Amino acid sequence: MANVVGISALDKESTVTLVQDGVITWAVSEERLTRVKQQRGFPWGALEMVFERSGVGPGDVEAVCYPFLPAPEELALRRRRAREHNRENENKDGPANRLFHRLNLFRELRRDRRGVLPFSDRELAAGLAKWGLAGKLHRYPHEPVHAANAFYTSGFSRALAVVFDAYGSGDTGGVYRCGPDGIEQLAAFPWPNSLGDFYSRVTKALGFTPDRHEGKILGLAAYAPAGEVFDLVRPRFEVGGGRFFYINSHDPFYVPRLARRFPREKVAAAHQDTLEEVAVGVVRPYLRSTGERDVVLSGGVTANVKLNQRIAELPEVDRIFVHPAMSDMGTGTGAAYLYLAERGRARPYKLPHALLGPDYTDAECRAALEEAGLAYTEPADLVGEAARLLADGKVVAWFDGRMEYGPRALGSRSVLARATDPEINRWLNNRLKRTEFMPFAPVTLPEHAERCYIGLEKCRHTAEFMTVTVDCTAYMREVSPAAVHVDGTARPQIANRDATPRYHDVLARYHELTGIPSLINTSFNIHEEPIVCTPADAVRAFRQGHLDYLALGPCLVKNPADDA
């Protein structure tokens, strides 16, 4: 068996993927083990867990694949791209704005020498040396690995791959034609023309944490039309010929000035509308010139589910697929596939699920509860009991099977609630210490999906991974209003019984009791913590979140505070 290990970019979300004979069998993010959100550095614990649980050892590994070039090459690419951008940027805006842009860009380049790229190289070298894997390292440019992770897990025989990202190997994304002969680059988007940086800047200007809270901007954008703010934001981009140019990309004052002048909802909407218009303007020429009608998406920007919906809705598109770990978390996966593709051993397959992390025995679940001093029962029909509790309006934390790969909870580490009362969003946000502007996402029975959502036929597989929004039907808005955003969309997960049978069956039994085929599914974690991994993590989050019930393996726990 060919064992290829992918290690993701080490600046954040360090993740280990094991690809065996072209199929992902393990993927574990270090943050889930350290409990530090977006953990950076070498994934010591994740690699040890993958080796221990898979039975694969360092001597069995054919290659270790990494999604960045050596730091000196990366830094040289950044300096070259900055010079090219400054030449093209001349006379595109007022001299003061150009000066601010140049000074800020120069300051960022100076920080590079002591920044994440040299740090990542040191971490990678130390980690691989300890495991005896240094001689098996293969490096790849960053943006093509995103194209590879999306294409080779899509199940499409050929596709147009589109990558929108913040930065990687001199670029911020690209367009690729994918097929039996591999992946061919059609265009690259040179840094600092970065849609990722563009969105991070408005995230920061509106008071949130960049590179973490972009989803809050997406949710906020639906609460007001962009109006005149769009006319101030959109001209910062020139789009044509399948490319875009970001004028004065590093001007540090432009977006903060907007944030002081206008309501934050309008500023968010202007940036969301601009993102969608620029991205669509880039994609359409390649759809027309190549004739490809299936699109695969990856890169940090494609965590923006409304952008993915806009691309899916294009008349030139038949189907889309978004890799479940679309951020840098999935770049080790893509690097492993590029290694296999170079050797003629990569074939696209339809990723059946994203449950690629560790699971825990019933005994381990019981031990965690006993250690915490929590009383529990083991109902003969746990699925039916959970469904009854949900139908009665209780909130159930659900821990079952292997942990998810990627940022979404997909039924192994989820918090479930009925979606009939919009007030549940406020209640859950308070309990989980979150501040969200989008409602929680629904999980829906597959046989009822078309009754609930419009346009799902283009994105049904990717909707199993909760990576796209769709418009909701009148029926969905009526019976599950808590899962529908103010713009009439939802980010559904279509339940997959083959992947999560008990989770699916809870929903099916809930439907039998209520006639409603959807529940709220949100990630099982407290705000600013990663999704829970172990039974002990689950017990801690259950208690801190003051949730009603915890279903942990075979065990059911009632919150003891309810009896106080």
For residue 154, being part of any structural domain is answered with yes
**Looking at the domain assignment, is residue 499 inside a domain?**
yes
- Which helix (H) or strand (E) segment holds residue 159: the answer is strand 159-168
Residue 388 located in a structural domain: yes
Q: How many domains does the chain have?
A: 2
Which helix (H) or strand (E) element contains residue 179? strand 171-179
Structure confidence at residue 437 (pLDDT):
83
The answer to whether the predicted template modeling score (pTM) of the entire model surpasses 0.75 is yes
- The helix (H) or strand (E) run that includes residue 556 is strand 555-558
Q: Which residues contact 130 (CB under 8 A, 6 or more apart)?
A: none
On whether both 318 and 444 belong to a single domain, the answer is no
Measured CA to CA, the distance from residue 30 to residue 15 in angstroms comes to: 6
Tokens coding 160 = 């147009």
| Count of Cβ atoms closer than 10 Å to residue 260 Cβ | 9
Residues 318 and 376 in one domain: no
Residue 302 C-beta-side C-alpha neighbours within 13 Å: 36
Low-confidence ranges of the chain (pLDDT < 50): none
Tell me, what CATH number does 323's domain have? 3.30.420.40
Give yes or no: residues 449 and 312 share one domain: no
Q: Which of 328, 349, 371 is the last residue of a domain?
A: 328
The predicted pLDDT at position 1 comes to 84
Is 34 within the bounds of a domain?
A: no
Task: Output the pLDDT for position 563.
Answer: 62
Encode pLDDT of 461-518 as tens digits. 999 999 999 999 999 999 999 999 999 999 999 999 999 999 999 999 999 999 999 9
- Detail the DSSP E strand segments found in 84-158: 137-139
For every residue of 268-330, which 3-state class applies, written as one string? HHHHHHHHHHHHHHHHHHHHHHHCCCEEEEECHHHHCHHHHHHHHCCCCCCEEEECCCCCHHH
- pLDDT tens-place string over residues 67-79: 999 999 999 999 9
CA torsion through residues 103, 104, 106, 107, sign: positive
Q: Is 398 among the domain residues? A: yes
Flag whether 104 is in a domain. Answer: no
Q: 150 and 266 share a domain?
A: yes
Residues 320 and 403 in one domain: no
Last residue of a domain, one of 281, 310, 328: 328
Terminal-to-terminal C-alpha distance of the chain: 56
Domain harbouring 425, CATH code: 3.90.870.20
Q: Is residue 472 part of a domain?
A: yes
**Other CB atoms within 10 A of residue 48 CB:** 14
Q: What is the domain extent for residue 222?
A: 144-328
